[in-house]
Structure 1
Amino acid sequence: MDASAKSTSTNGARCRRIWGWYFFDWASQPYNTILLTFIFGPYLKELLGDGTRAQAAWGFGIAGAGVTMAILAPILGALADTSGTRMRWIWIFSIMYVAGSAGLWFAAPGNFNLPLSLICFAIGLVGMEFATIFTNALLPDLGSQDEIARISGNGWAFGYLGGLLALITVVCLFAEDPATGATILDRPPLLGLDPEMREGTRAAGPFTALWYVVFMVPFFAFVRDPRPRNAPHGTIRQAILDVVGTVKSLPTRPSLFAFLGASMFYRDALNGMFTFGGIYAAGVLGWSVVETGLMGVIAIVVSTLFAWMGGRAAELFGPKRVIMVSIVVLVVVAFCFIFVSRGAVFGVPVASGSKLPDIIFYVLGATIGAAGGTLLPCSRTMMVEQGDSSKMTEGFGLYALSGKATSFLTPLSIGAVTAATGSQQMGVTPLVLWLVIGFVLLTFVRPAQGHQTETDCGQYAPGS
């Protein structure tokens, strides 16, 4: 094989690996869009019949999963680094993803078991989050330092497209309005599913599991993480010692320390907005699963566009600046949440049956999508810039820890404030505090220095 043919073959293999890596986001995103935010959360409110109780239960349940992830994420990351493999862990946590999401089928009306449903949801959520840690750790190997921001943004945009298509499918073909028993297309749920037993909405769980199984095929087909020669045999004890050593060394790396602290708060607040947005709209505005699903479609369309734009903005201005602007936007949105209800908008009473609160909430949902679409891929890029290339899985384990160490804080604080005040609107006030803390800590982060260059593999970049 001559040099030109060899170069073409190598470049083709690299592009296939990048596209395979993209497919993890495509396959896993429906857990966020369908189950966490727009379908299952509002459905939980319908089953419990009380928005305040549902929001509190949702918060406490997710907080429990967050504690598990906070404890294990950095240890598993260090274990993967010392054992020299990541793909094995992605397989294991993929099984949890599929089992947990499929188990939500059993959340049936009339015989609803809240603890069992929350346990199934937590198993799937932990599987998704842990699989994401090891997949993110593959990012630095996909391109040069100057290409990472674009690859990260494109991957997130591609994932949002997958979440959008999956959500549209569920909203149009499965999720039924409880009043009419029909989907948004005014047709009964597909496959003869029983609307009275909410089988169309419950099918969102198995659908999410099947979606993941099908679309992880390209990932496992094209992405490789071979064990390096003479790799040390990883042990849990050694992994714990590595994590302890890394954590102790963080004060000597003030920029990374500040970034992890900042992301601990602002990502948790953003996750809170995504997690509670649907159940908030269901309780405060009385939206059905179909209406929250429509809001999800709008939000994801905007998220897809801004994730793609965010990768390019990070190349031009640096990820830190993009993240800071996104946080400011989210603070404004969090304040607006408090002042929008069925009876009044920003303190001004509205007539009964007015659509103004609905329109404003759709706009707020789209704005969250825009800010989240830029903030998340840019945060992933900044972690690559700030982290140690020789310990990238452990680094993303710490990144996950920074996102999960307080992952119980937002749902727990929202659950506690909601329960204490008896108001869903007042219950979301902690979001403002966590966003502000994240913004302040981010000011201490020192951006990485580098030059922007064009990628030599343009065909892998969606929209480029």
Structure 2
Amino acid sequence: MASSSLETGHPVTKRGIWGWMLFDWAAQPFFTVVTTFIFGPYFVARLTADPISAQTIWSNMATISSVIIAIFSPILGSIADQSGSRKPWIAFFACLKIASLSMLWFAAPGSPIFWPVTFMIIASIAAEFSIVFNDSMMPRLTTPENVGRISNTAWGLGYLGGIIVLIFVVLFLAASPDKGVTILGIPPLFGLDAASGEDARITGPIAALWYFIFILPMFLYTPDVTKGLPLAQSVRSGLSELKTTLHELKGRPVLTRFLIARMLYQDGVNGVLILGGAFAAGLFGWGTMEIGIYGIILNIVAIGSCVAAGLVDQRLGSRNTVLLSLALLIIATIGIFSTQADSTLFGLLALPVSDATGLFSSGAEKAYLVYGILIGIAFGPVQASSRSYLARNITIAESGRYFGIYALSGRATSFMATLGFSLVTYATGSAHLGMATLTLFLGAGFVLLLRVPERVAPAQS
């Protein structure tokens, strides 16, 4: 079944739409396995001897990436509208991402942290810039009525891709440094040495290979705009267009309010995703195996949640879907930073401390899993339905520049969330208080989004 391109009237085949959706499938293992659940916690818990300082460094890495992304995303989006084609830009940034991820293999315990931090910054920037160009293709592929379903389905596919890689790592690569065997009781594949962190370090090259293979359908089958200005001219015209767009936002108060709300709550979402696994590693001493299983649980929940959210988005709208998801994220984040080794909810609920050595044996760890499930339900839909909200309320001709500004809204102050965590953690010595700062961003975005209507006429947007 084909869908009409809103720009040309030419059919976009089902294969073309699936090629576009597979971009999320290709890209997600970097965020799931490298940033959140395997390499990130490894960086915090094992790369250096000081987990608190390592959490701060990891947070600072995210801050630097966010500042660069915030500055250049809207510029690149405007250039994309002028140059027409998105695929050459995606290919360029894919090369940077693949090369940087491959270099994480050399981040052995005790080695200089400068290089893994540098390569993570490059990979993060390349990943986000690629997303700007990929997202801006979406309005051309389907109708406004279907964009929420397609966006959530693509996000669900991303989590499925992430969880497949994560399960592979946990079952066949992640081993106990003491016993040297995986959760299946077998030696890690490829002769990996868990004691030297090879089971975590290999996630960089694996994510790179996965990304390379599965972005190919998008390049082969998804239609791209071929007519546009030459590169040098498109850069000049794009910069001029960006200035016009920023001025134009003054006359589109509803869209401006949405972008500011999204800027705030996405900062909180980014902080939860970037810091959640590292926080658990510091709080409970979780290793690659525990963090990996935790990530599997979250992503299994996220897949089903995205499928359900696609239906909710169609019936209740993108805005309401985001609001429901934000409410769950706020509850979960409060639960996380209120949890100590023997209690949760700020000591109101005492929890048994177990002497057992099994997985998630203490009551606090089980409570953390519950909060993680709430995050799994919410963090996919809040991002997918935000993307579909924008797609419904802009024209195709302005998609590149507005998705560039959309990326800006997701990153413009995201360094504030991670920086707030770093400053508070450094000043107090408490990662719990650092995590508490994330609720300020989630809550502020929620309140502001309450004043944004579901759909607006172009003149009011």
Q: Structure 2-normalised TM-score?
A: 0.92
* Equivalent AA in structure 2 for residue 262 of structure 1: A
133-142 or 240-249, larger mean C-alpha shift: 240-249
Deviation at 1:230, TM superposition (A): 7.5
Q: Which runs of 5+ in 2 are unaligned?
A: 355-360
Distance 2:192 2:10 in 1: 47
Aligned to 1:156: 155
Question: Counterpart of 1:277 in structure 2: which amino acid?
Answer: G
Q: Does 1:356 align with 2:357?
A: no
Contact 2:267 2:410 (C-alpha < 8 Å) held by counterparts: yes
Cα shift at 1:49: 3.0
Is the 8 Å Cα contact of residues 256 and 387 (structure 1) preserved in structure 2?
A: no
For residues 182-214 of structure 1, what are the alpha-carbon distances to aligned partners after superposition, in whole Å with 9 as ceiling and x for unaligned? 222222211112233222221111111111111
2:451 to 425, 444, 447: 444
2:288 maps to 289
Distance 2:307 2:17 in 1: 16
CA contact (8 A) 2:333 2:371 kept: no
C-alpha contact 2:335 2:344 (8 A) present in aligned 1: no
Check if 1:63 corresponds to 2:70. no
Q: CA distance change for structure 1 residues 242 and 194 in 2, over 3 Å: closer, same or farther? A: same
Paired position in structure 2 for 1:402? 409
Task: For 1:118-133, list aligned pairs within 5 A.
Answer: 118-133=117-132
Alpha carbons 1:176, 1:188 under 8 Å: kept: yes
Aligned to 1:338: 337
User: Which amino acid is 2:221 matched to?
Assistant: F
CA contact (8 A) 1:28 1:128 kept: yes
Equivalent residue, structure 2, for 1:52: 52
1:388 is aligned to 2:387 = no
Please give the residue correspondences for 1:193-204 in structure 2 after superposition, counting only pairs within 5 Å.
193-204=192-203
| Residue 11 of structure 1, CA deviation | 9.7
Q: How many residues align?
A: 443
**Residues 1:327 and 2:334 are matched in the alignment:** no
Q: Counterpart of 1:243?
A: 242
Give SS of 2:185's match.
Answer: coil
Q: CA deviation at 1:229?
A: 6.8
Q: Which residue is 1:102 aligned to?
A: 102
The code of the aligned residue for 2:194 comes to: P
Which range moves more in the overlay, 48-57 or 25-34? 48-57
Corresponding residue of 1:462:
none
| One-letter amino acid of the counterpart of residue 420, structure 1 | A
Q: 1:204 to 1:438 in 2, by over 3 A?
A: same
Letter of the structure 1 residue corresponding to residue 79 of structure 2? L
Unpaired runs of 5+ residues, structure 1, are: 451-464
2:379 matched to 1:372? yes
Conservation of the 8 A alpha-carbon contact between 1:176 and 1:201: no
Over 3 Å counting, the alpha-carbon distance change for 1:401 and 1:449 in structure 2 is closer
Structure 2 Cα separation of the partners of residues 375 and 244 of structure 1: 29
What does residue 42 of structure 2 align with? Answer: 43
Residue 423 of structure 1 pairs with residue 430 of structure 2: yes
Whole-angstrom CA distance in 2 between matches of 1:217 and 1:229? 23
1:284–1:425 contact (8 Å) kept in structure 2? no
Deviations 1:297-332 (A, max 9, x none): 000011111111111101100111111111111111
Deviation string, structure 1 residues 118-138 (Cα, Å, up to 9, x no partner): 110111111111111111111
- d(CA) in 2 for partners of 1:12 and 1:248? 35
Native 8 Å contact 1:82 1:233 kept in 2: no
CA RMSD of aligned residues (A): 2.1
1:350 Cα deviation (Å)? 3.6
Measure the CA separation in 1 of the matches of 2:396 and 2:253. Answer: 17
Confirm or deny: 8 A CA contact 1:65 1:125 kept in the other structure: yes
Residue type of the alignment partner of 2:60: F
Instruction: Give the C-alpha shift of residue 269 in structure 1.
Output: 0.5
Question: What secondary structure is seen at the aligned counterpart in 1 of 2:196?
Answer: coil
The superposition leaves residues 85-139 of structure 1 with CA deviations (integer Å, 9 ceiling, x where unpaired) of: 11110001111110111111110023x2211111101111111111111111111
Change (3 A) 1:291 1:12: farther
Write the distance in 2 (CA, Å) between the matches of 1:236 and 1:440: 37
For residue 353 of structure 2, what is the amino acid of its counterpart? S
SS in 2 for 1:196: helix
Equivalent in the alignment of 1:80: 80
Q: How far apart are residue 160 of structure 1 and its match?
A: 0.9
Using the alignment, how far apart are the partners of 2:261 and 2:12 within structure 1?
Answer: 37
Moved more, 347-356 or 226-235: 226-235
Map 1:252-271 → 2, pairs under 5 A: 252-271=251-270
Cα gap change, 1:150/1:350 in structure 2, threshold over 3 Å: closer, same or farther?
closer
Which deviations, in whole Å up to 9, do the C-alpha atoms of 1:239-276 show, x marking residues without a partner? 22211211122121011101100110111111111111
Task: Note the C-alpha offset of 1:343.
Answer: 2.7
Paired-residue identity, %:
36
Distance 1:264 1:183, change over 3 A: same
Contact 1:151 1:311 in 2 (8 A): yes
